[in-house]
Structure formats: C-alpha cells, structure tokens
C-alpha cells in the first residue's frame, strides 16, 4: 500500500503517507 486512503486506513503506521494522501485529496 504505497498510497493508502486516509479515510480507509488512518492508523496503519503511515502517518506521513496518510498526510501526503490527504494533501493530494485537498484535505
């Protein structure tokens, strides 16, 4: 899972990836 959806997997140990994903979604 390179880019997990924040709303799908918020706590997967990928806070950095999640943050980047949210930024991509415009969160």
Alpha-carbon gap, residue 11 to 22, rounded angstroms = 13
Report DSSP letters for 1-20, one per residue.
Answer: --S--TTT-SSSS-HHHHHH
Domain count within the chain? 1
pLDDT reported for residue 4: 55
pLDDT reported for residue 12: 56
Give the CB-side neighbour count of residue 6, counting CA atoms within 13 A.
Answer: 13
CA 13 to chain centre: 10
The boundaries of the domain holding residue 11 are 1-27
Among 11, 24, 14, smallest CA distance to 2 is for 14
The per-residue pLDDT for range 1-27, each reduced to its tens digit, is 566 555 555 555 556 666 676 666 654
The backbone torsions φ and ψ at residue 17, rounded to the nearest 5 degrees and listed phi first, read -65, -40
């Amino acid at each position: 899972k390179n880019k997990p959806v924040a709303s799908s997997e918020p706590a997967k140990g990928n806070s950095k990836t999640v943050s980047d994903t949210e930024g991509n979604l415009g969160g």
